[in-house]
Amino acid sequence: MRYGILLAAGEDIDFMVHGLFKYKFFGQDVWITTTHVCILIVIAIILAFAIAANHAMKNAKEVPSGFQNVVELIVEMLDKMVKTTMGKHASKFRNYIGTVFIFILISNLSGLLGLRPPTADYGVTLPLGLVTFTLIHFNTFKHNSLKSIWIDKCSPLPPWLPIWFPINLIGDIAVPISLSLRLFANVLSGVVMMALVYGLLGKLALIWPAFLHVYLDIFSGAIQTYVFCMLTMTYLTNAIGDTE
Amino acid sequence: MEFNENFIKGCQAIGAGLAVIAGIGPGIGQGIAAGHAASAVGRNPGAKSDITSTMLLGQAVAETTGLYGLVTALILMFVL
C-alpha cells in the first residue's frame, strides 16, 4: 500500500506526506494530501466530542455525573491553565487557547491511531504560528501607544538612536517561525522514529512499539501542546503589557 | 566543473551528519536543567510538582535548537 494514509501500512520506510488527488487551482497543480485526510479525521473526532459535550451540558444537572464530569474537568483545567499564566487578561483569550490546545493535542495523539499526525506537516503548524503572530501584534497596537511601542522596539538603546530597531524586528519575525518549527520538528521526529521502527523491523515490530508510542506520541505530544499554548500566552501577556 | 549524482548524495549525507551534531547542545542543556531540578527537589520536596512542570517546559524549549539541526538534516537528505 504505497499511498496509504496509515503510517504502519508500508513495506519500506515511509514518513513523507503523499498526494492523494490532484486538481487545478488558478493554473497551479494543487494536491489533496494525506495531511488533509488526517486533519479531517481529527476534525470529525473533535466535532463528535463537541456535539456530545453540547448535549451533555444542555441536560446539565446540579450534581454532575458521567460525561458531564469529564467536560467540566476539561474546561476547568484549561481555564485554570490560562488563568495562572495570563492573570487578569485570561477571560479574553481562554477561548482561543482552549481551541488551539484541544486541536493540537488531538492532532498529536492521532499518531496512536496509526495516522500521520497533521502537525507533522509544516503547512499546519505555520498557520497556527501566524495566528499567534497576528494576535500578538494586534494586541500590542491595541493596548500600547505608538510612542511606547517605538521606545520598546529600540529598547536597549535610547529611542533617538534606532540602531537596534532592525534586530528587534527580526526577533519579532522569528517568533512565529520558532513556535511553528518547534511543534513541527518534535512531532516529525516522532513520526520518523515510528516509521523507522515499523519500516525496518517489519513483522518484528509487534506489541512492544506501544512503549515508543507512549513516549513519542503521548508524552512528547502533550508536552509540546502545553509548550505551544504556554509560549502563546506568555507572548500575549508581554504584548499587552501592564496597561489596564 | 560537473559533479555526478553520487558525489552530491555523499555531500548531502556528510552535511546531514554534521547538522545532527546540533544535538549535543540540547543534551547538555537539558542535563543541567534536570540536575538543578533534582537539587531543587532535594532542598524543597514539597514543591516537587511545580519544579517538575517548570523543568519540563524549559527542557522542551531548550530542545528546539537540536530539532532545528534534525530538520536541517532531514531537508538535506530527503528534500534537496
Q: List C-alpha distances in Å: B41 to A46, B45, B57.
A: 38, 5, 16
Report yes or no on A56 lying in a domain.
yes
Q: Does A49 touch chain B (CB under 8 A)?
A: no
The parent domain of residue A84 ranges over 7-240
Largest alpha-carbon pair distance within chain A? Answer: 68
Instruction: Collapse the DSSP code of A28 into the 3-class scheme (helix H, G, I; strand E, B; otherwise coil) and give the result.
Output: strand
Residue of chain B with shortest Cα separation from A192: B74
Per-residue pLDDT reduced to its tens digit, B37-48? 999 999 999 999
Q: Does A235 touch chain B (CB under 8 A)?
A: no
In this predicted structure, what is the pLDDT of residue A14?
73
Report yes or no on A1 lying in a domain.
no
User: Are A107 and A39 in contact, with CB atoms under 8 Å apart?
Assistant: yes
Q: Domains in chain A: how many in total?
A: 1
Report yes or no on A217 lying in a domain.
yes
CA dist A72 and A68 (Å) reads 6
CATH second-level architecture of B25-79? Answer: Up-down Bundle (1.20)
CB contact under 8 A, B63 and A188: no
The pLDDT tens digits along chain A (244 residues) read 444 556 555 566 777 777 777 888 888 888 888 888 889 999 999 999 999 999 888 887 878 778 888 888 999 999 998 998 888 888 888 899 999 999 999 999 988 887 888 998 888 999 999 999 999 999 999 888 888 888 888 878 887 888 888 888 998 999 999 899 999 999 988 888 888 888 888 777 778 888 888 888 899 899 999 999 999 998 998 888 776 5
pLDDT at B14 over 90: yes
CB contact under 8 A, A182 and B61: yes
Query: Which residues of chain A does B63 touch, with a Cβ-Cβ cutoff of 8 Å?
Result: 182, 186
Q: Does A145 touch chain B (CB under 8 A)?
A: no
| DSSP letter (8 states) at residue B11 | H
Question: What does the domain layout of chain B look like in residue ranges?
Answer: 25-79
Strands A19-25, A28-33: pairing is antiparallel
A25 DSSP β-pair partners: A28
In this predicted structure, what is the pLDDT of residue B33?
94
In this predicted structure, what is the pLDDT of residue A12?
67
Q: Does A224 touch chain B (CB under 8 A)?
A: yes
Report yes or no on A172 lying in a domain.
yes
CB contact under 8 A, A223 and B70: no
CA distance B1 to chain A (A): 33
Interface test with A, best of B30, B49, B54, B56 (most A CBs within 10 A): B56
Nearest to A34 by CA among A65, A64, A10: A10
Q: List C-alpha distances in Å: A223 to A101, A105, A218, B76, B80.
A: 11, 9, 8, 28, 31
Residue of chain A with shortest Cα separation from B64: A182
In this predicted structure, what is the pLDDT of residue A157?
81
CB contact under 8 A, A181 and B70: no
Report yes or no on A39 lying in a domain.
yes
Residue of chain A with shortest Cα separation from B62: A182
Query: Which residues of chain A does B67 touch, with a Cβ-Cβ cutoff of 8 Å?
Result: 181-182, 185-186, 189
* Residue B62 CA from chain centroid, whole number: 8
In this predicted structure, what is the pLDDT of residue B16?
92
